[in-house]
């Protein structure tokens, strides 16, 4: 895939520019192992892929939002049950264990926001080269203040939340709105994100060039360039003068 002639580079927010450490999946799986559940490395990867699928505006999460409404506790307990099945548990076993997992996560999941290694250096390099940089997230609400708190806002011309345009990745509407803000065409624009189902599929379907940020090597053969470090990003982009 040629990445020459690129004018704008757009980034996903959560899981890409901002990571949670430890991840919820890590804390969840460690607890499963502590209970003696036979979780293999293959199981971990499959569950991580499922979680990315689920949060990519999947039919399942839409149904769960409808079912649980404002009942956050019910939503997350149900999510835990679904994740246990993704880890290889039977439906019955997942139903039995879900309340304990929900309680454990509520009491013990206290992640720290982390900017990936090399992100500031890569963003500064791309900004100096004259690319239009933007952030496009499936968040419901604007997040400019969070970008400022994380020290990221100076690098970006704009940020866009899905809730602002009532379109969530992988749907095309959010990408089309982002292109208007970037004032570029789809074929001139790269989208960098960590979720194959939301970011790669969505960007590709909207005509953008996807790059998958896959630090944990979750996805096999995504059909697009893959980076495991932000320091790899500038070398992928050979802007044609």
**Tens-digit pLDDT string for the chain (241 aa):** 557 789 999 999 999 999 999 999 999 999 999 999 999 999 999 999 999 999 999 999 999 999 999 999 999 999 999 999 999 999 999 999 999 999 999 999 999 999 999 999 999 999 999 999 999 999 999 999 999 999 999 999 999 999 999 999 999 999 999 999 999 999 999 999 999 999 999 999 999 999 999 999 999 989 999 999 999 998 888 643 3
Are 147 and 116 within 8 A, CB to CB?
Answer: no
> Could you identify the residue written with the tokens 């470090």?
229
> Could you identify the residue written with the tokens 């997040």?
143
pTM over 0.85: yes
Q: Which residues of 55-76 are buried (b: 16+ CB within 10 A; e: fewer)?
A: bbbbeebeebeeebeeeeeebb
Q: In the chain, what percentage of residues exceed pLDDT 70?
A: 98
The pLDDT score that the predictor gives to residue 239 is 45
Overall CATH class of domain 8-20+113-236: alpha beta
The pLDDT score that the predictor gives to residue 237 is 85
The 10s digit of each residue's pLDDT in 89-146 is 999 999 999 999 999 999 999 999 999 999 999 999 999 999 999 999 999 999 999 9
The pLDDT score that the predictor gives to residue 238 is 65
Are 140 and 152 within 8 A, CB to CB?
Answer: no
**Cα 238 from Cα 241, distance rounded (Å):** 9
64 phi, psi to nearest 5 deg? -65, -40
The pLDDT score that the predictor gives to residue 240 is 37
What is the residue-averaged pLDDT of the chain? 95
Domain ranges of the chain: 8-20+113-236, 23-108
The pLDDT score that the predictor gives to residue 3 is 75
Q: Would you say the C-alpha torsion 156, 161, 164, 169 has a positive or negative sign?
A: positive
């Amino acid at each position: 895939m040629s990445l020459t002639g690129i004018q704008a580079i757009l980034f996903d927010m959560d899981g890409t520019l901002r990571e949670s450490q430890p991840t919820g999946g890590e804390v969840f799986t460690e607890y499963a192992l502590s209970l003696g559940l036979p979780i293999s490395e293959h199981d971990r990867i499959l569950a991580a892929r499922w979680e990315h699928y689920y949060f990519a505006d999947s039919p399942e999460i839409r149904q769960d939002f409808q079912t649980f409404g404002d009942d956050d506790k019910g939503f997350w307990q149900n999510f835990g049950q679904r994740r246990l099945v993704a880890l290889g548990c039977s439906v019955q076993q997942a139903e039995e264990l879900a309340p304990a997992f929900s309680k454990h996560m509520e009491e013990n999941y206290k992640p720290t926001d982390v900017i990936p290694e090399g992100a500031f250096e890569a963003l500064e390099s791309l900004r100096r080269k004259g690319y239009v940089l933007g952030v496009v997230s499936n968040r419901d609400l604007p997040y400019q203040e969070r970008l400022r708190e994380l020290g990221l806002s100076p690098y970006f011309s704009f940020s866009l939340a899905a809730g602002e345009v009532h379109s969530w990745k992988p749907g095309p509407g959010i990408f089309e709105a982002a292109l208007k803000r970037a004032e570029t065409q789809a074929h001139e624009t790269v989208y960098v994100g960590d979720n194959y189902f939301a970011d790669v599929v969505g960007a590709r379907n909207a005509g953008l060039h996807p790059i998958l940020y896959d630090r944990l090597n979750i996805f096999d053969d995504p059909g697009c360039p893959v980076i495991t470090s932000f320091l790899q990003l500038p070398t992928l982009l050979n802007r044609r003068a």
